[in-house]
């Protein structure tokens, strides 16, 4: 049974897609959300295998969401949109299909079957762990669970979903080891790109990053701001 998430800012579109999905075999609707930011935040909880994703939405649009999902463990994306102008970009993001609204049941079934074949054929990539110390104990944490990495004196502090960890590798070593999995915000901070939710500018001109999984908002340096903005597609 494939877990399907619907993301569309139009209530009627969400309702119609959910109704169509009930007529499709081998799928379970695990949620229906109205914007891309909530979709990114809910991915870990809902763990969808397939996402029916609108493109033109307020805030993070569907293209930005799909780009943030790129890489290991991403859900299979089926774009459902009223416009045909983004098809090329959609397939460059390795979308399963590009359905025009109003979505027809036969096209939806075809797209779902294609997504399920991809899921069946997918080869699991090895999990990436960071290893370090918590007090006198040696432990490891999944890189997928990392919120940010902060340089403090001679150690790097790994803030993750379950607490903190100290590791001896430098930020530069980590950045070079995982260039696709970590992005630099500041000389003292790295984050996984999927954790980036947005930016907020302070009265003094400093720009802070909003991160999924924490209220902590690290500063983004001027040198790295363009890269971060590009990742967020702002």
pLDDT at site 170: 93
pTM: 0.60
Concatenated DSSP letters of 54-111: -SS-SSS-HHHHHHHH-STTPPEEEEEES-STTHHHHHHTT-SEEEESSPPHHHHHHH
3-class SS at 52? strand
pLDDT at site 72: 53
**Among the listed residues 70, 75, 74, 66, the one whose alpha carbon sits nearest the alpha carbon of residue 27:** 75
Domains and CATH numbers, the chain: 2-121 (3.40.50.2300), 129-232 (2.40.50.1020)
Q: Two tokens at 124?
A: 């699991």
- At which residue do the structure tokens 């949109």 appear? 81
Residues of the chain scoring pLDDT < 50: 234
pLDDT digits (tens, 9 = 90+) for 4-22: 999 999 999 999 999 999 9
């Amino acid at each position: 049974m494939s877990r399907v998430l619907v993301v569309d800012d139009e209530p009627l579109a969400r309702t119609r897609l959910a109704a169509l999905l009930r007529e499709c075999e081998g799928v379970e609707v695990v949620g229906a959300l109205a914007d891309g930011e909530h979709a990114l935040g809910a991915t870990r909880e809902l763990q969808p295998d397939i996402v029916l994703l609108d493109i033109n939405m307020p805030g993070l649009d569907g293209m930005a969401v799909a780009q943030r999902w790129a890489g290991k463990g991403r859900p299979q994306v089926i774009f459902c949109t009223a416009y045909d102008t983004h098809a090329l970009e959609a397939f460059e993001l390795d979308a399963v299909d590009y359905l025009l609204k109003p979505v027809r049941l036969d096209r939806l079934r075809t797209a779902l079957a294609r997504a399920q074949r991809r899921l069946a054929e997918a080869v699991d990539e090895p999990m990436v762990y960071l290893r370090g110390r918590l007090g006198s104990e040696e432990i490891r944490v999944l890189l997928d669970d990392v919120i940010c990495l902060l340089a403090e004196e001679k150690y790097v502090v790994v803030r993750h979903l379950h607490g903190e960890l100290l590791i001896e590798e430098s930020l530069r070593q980590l950045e070079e080891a995982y260039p696709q999995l970590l992005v630099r915000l500041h000389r003292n901070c790295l984050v996984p790109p999927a954790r980036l939710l947005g930016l907020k500018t302070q009265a003094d001109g400093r720009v802070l990053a909003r991160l999924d999984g924490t209220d902590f908002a690290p500063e983004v340096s001027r040198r790295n701001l363009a890269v971060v903005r590009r990742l967020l597609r702002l």
